[in-house]
């Protein structure tokens, strides 16, 4: 039976890896000088930083992908890109006035394993050997690996540099779906690379699974879970395909919208997959994520230290995050900054001695309070405005917008505390949208977000 709430709440909405979301940043009020001053002051107050390194190159275009990437088979692009990354790192290091510790590091893409193990080692040497840079006793270093090209040498090399977590993009095991999204990788490849990672000593292996892909059915989800059970990765990202071809251009036009499952079937896929994963012992973390009880992400969820940012869910609140590379986003708590998205222009800025940051947003007091509420909702499924520092001037408007979710038993509100019900977990993005002042003040003329279901 079709759930009437699906039609009611299936609207375009953000995924809330930040607040304000990128389309609602105010770059006209952003200052690169002020941004760099914040980097200096924040690292002076707290020397622990997180690094996100964007490695944009892929040999083939996956037609489900919404990331910033450059498609090429020319591996000679590796050396110059690493050289420019390290020049950008030097720009940041020139304004950091005390010793820092790289406590968290993530290699994302694109395809990080497009780069050779030797070149990845050269990149990490350049990052780590900068004077004044320290490494922690227990680093939280991770990378995204492609099952088709992640070699034992990749795994062993990165392990030597402190990496203990890796995630592999699986998406779906059905060959017809793989052809539609141009991501052909048999189960044997996923099995082998998962086994290789464990043999190398990795503590946490993650698999990304997507529901809502073209031609996908409940039988495909059943098959995906069956194969997952054979390998039992420590973490699962089980998330909805975001169809945004109007933003990503030809990259998401390898199939017709009519080939996609309808919203009610997508929700059935998620509920079935969730039930099966929980039956295997996985715990639901935030939304769209699952982890085995022994994994650090599950422990963080139980302890209440779970955090969410542009790197996804993390174990601790990383308040100082620097993004390096094209399109990378940095987060200093009170400001966001995003790099130039075009590779050649990124190089030109560095050649001219200029900052690679081309847009950003300085959060005002209200932004910061609402951001804390959204982090509470996406990480702990509840938030409260009992304390003065969690109150803001338009809270009555937010409560008015929450009337419908309250009637539909998606949330409970008592003693100035909002809790998301089990019924409401699939609609967490919609609940967050009630708090999103920028979204409600500036409704876009054209659709810019994927559907929430």
Is 183 marked as a binding-site residue? yes
Of 376, 370, 379, the C-alpha closest to 436 is 370
**How is residue 53 annotated by DSSP?**
E
Residue 419 Cα to chain centre, angstroms: 24
Q: Is 84 annotated as a binding residue?
A: no
Q: Which domains does the chain have, with CATH numbers?
A: 24-324 (3.80.30.20), 364-443 (1.10.10.920)
pLDDT for 2: 65
Q: Any known ligand binding at 110?
A: yes
* pLDDT confidence of residue 129: 94
Check whether 290 is labelled as a binding-site residue.
no
The answer on whether 58 is annotated among ligand-binding residues is: yes
Closest CA to 412 of 447, 432, 385, 382: 382
Q: What is the pLDDT of residue 450?
A: 75
pLDDT along the chain (453 residues), means of 10: 79 90 94 97 94 95 85 96 98 94 95 97 97 94 96 98 97 95 94 98 97 96 98 96 62 72 91 96 93 95 90 84 97 96 98 97 96 96 96 95 96 97 93 95 71 77
Task: Quote the pLDDT of residue 286.
Answer: 86
The predicted structure's pLDDT at residue 318: 76
Query: How far from 372 is each of 19, 299, 307, 312, 378, CA to CA, in Å?
Result: 9, 21, 11, 16, 10
Do the annotations mark residue 171 as ligand-binding? yes
66 is in an annotated binding site: yes
CB environment 96-115: b (16+ within 10 A), e (fewer): beeebebbbbbbbbbbbbbb
Q: pTM for the complete prediction?
A: 0.93
Q: What's the distance, CA 133 to chain centroid?
A: 26
Give the angle subtended at the CA of 103 by the CAs of 428 and 147, to the nearest 5°. 65
CB 351 within 8 A of CB 87: no
Position 311 scores a pLDDT of 81
Using DSSP's 3-state secondary structure scheme, residue 206 falls into: strand
End-to-end Cα spacing for the chain: 16
How many other C-beta atoms lie within 10 A of the C-beta of residue 447?
A: 12
Q: Residue 217 annotated as binding?
A: no
Is 64 one of the annotated binding-site residues?
yes
pLDDT of residue 52: 96
Q: Is 52 annotated as a binding residue?
A: yes
pLDDT, residue 254, reads: 60
65 is annotated as contributing to ligand binding? yes
- Confidence at residue 257, expressed as pLDDT on a 0 to 100 scale: 81
CB-based contacts of 413: which residues, under 8 Å, 6+ apart? 399, 402, 406, 419
Rounded-to-integer distance, Cα 74 and Cα 52, Å: 24
pLDDT of residue 452: 78
Give the count of beta carbons closer than 10 Å to the beta carbon of residue 300: 19
């Amino acid at each position: 039976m079709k759930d009437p709430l699906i039609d009611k709440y299936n609207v375009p909405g953000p995924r809330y890896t930040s607040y304000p979301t990128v389309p609602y940043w105010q770059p006209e009020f952003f200052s690169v000088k002020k941004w760099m001053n914040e980097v200096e002051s924040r690292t002076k107050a707290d020397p622990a930083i997180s690094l996100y390194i964007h490695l944009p190159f892929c040999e083939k275009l996956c037609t489900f992908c919404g990331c910033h990437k450059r498609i090429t088979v020319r591996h000679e692009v590796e050396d110059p890109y690493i050289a420019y990354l390290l020049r950008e790192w030097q720009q940041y290091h020139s304004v950091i006035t005390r010793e820092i510790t790289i406590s968290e590091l993530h290699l994302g893409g694109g395809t990080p394993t497009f780069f050779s193990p030797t070149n990845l080692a050269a990149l990490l040497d350049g990052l780590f050997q900068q004077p004044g840079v320290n490494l922690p006793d227990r680093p939280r270093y991770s990378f995204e690996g492609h099952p088709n090209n992640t070699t034992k040498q990749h795994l062993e090399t990165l392990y030597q540099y402190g990496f203990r977590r890796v995630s592999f993009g699986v998406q779906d095991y059905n060959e017809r779906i793989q052809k539609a999204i141009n991501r052909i990788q048999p189960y044997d490849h996923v099995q082998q690379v998962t086994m290789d990672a464990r043999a190398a000593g990795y503590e946490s292996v993650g698999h990304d699974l997507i529901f809502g892909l073209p031609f996908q059915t409940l039988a495909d989800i059943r098959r995906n879970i069956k194969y997952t059970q054979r390998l039992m990765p420590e973490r699962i990202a089980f998330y909805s395909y975001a169809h945004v071809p109007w933003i990503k251009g030809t990259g998401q036009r390898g199939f017709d919208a009519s080939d996609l499952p309808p919203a009610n079937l997508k929700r059935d896929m998620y509920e079935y997959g969730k039930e099966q994963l929980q039956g295997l012992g996985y715990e639901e973390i935030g939304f769209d994520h699952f982890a085995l009880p022994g994994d650090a992400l599950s422990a963080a969820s139980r302890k209440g230290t779970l955090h969410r940012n542009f790197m996804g869910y993390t174990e601790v609140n990383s308040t100082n995050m620097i993004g390096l590379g094209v399109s990378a986003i940095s987060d200093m708590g009170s400001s966001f900054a995003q790099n130039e998205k075009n590779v050649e222009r990124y190089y030109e800025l560095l050649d001219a001695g200029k900052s690679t940051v081309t847009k950003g947003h300085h959060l005002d007091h209200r932004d910061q309070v609402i951001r804390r509420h959204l982090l509470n909702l996406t990480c702990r499924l509840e938030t409260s405005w009992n304390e003065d520092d969690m109150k803001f001037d338009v809270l009555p408007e937010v409560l008015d917008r929450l009337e419908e979710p309250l009637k539909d038993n998606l949330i409970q509100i008592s003693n100035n505390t909002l809790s998301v019900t089990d019924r409401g977990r699939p609609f967490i993005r919609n609940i967050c949208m009630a708090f999103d002042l920028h979204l409600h003040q500036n409704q876009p003329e054209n659709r810019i977000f994927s559907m929430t279901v």
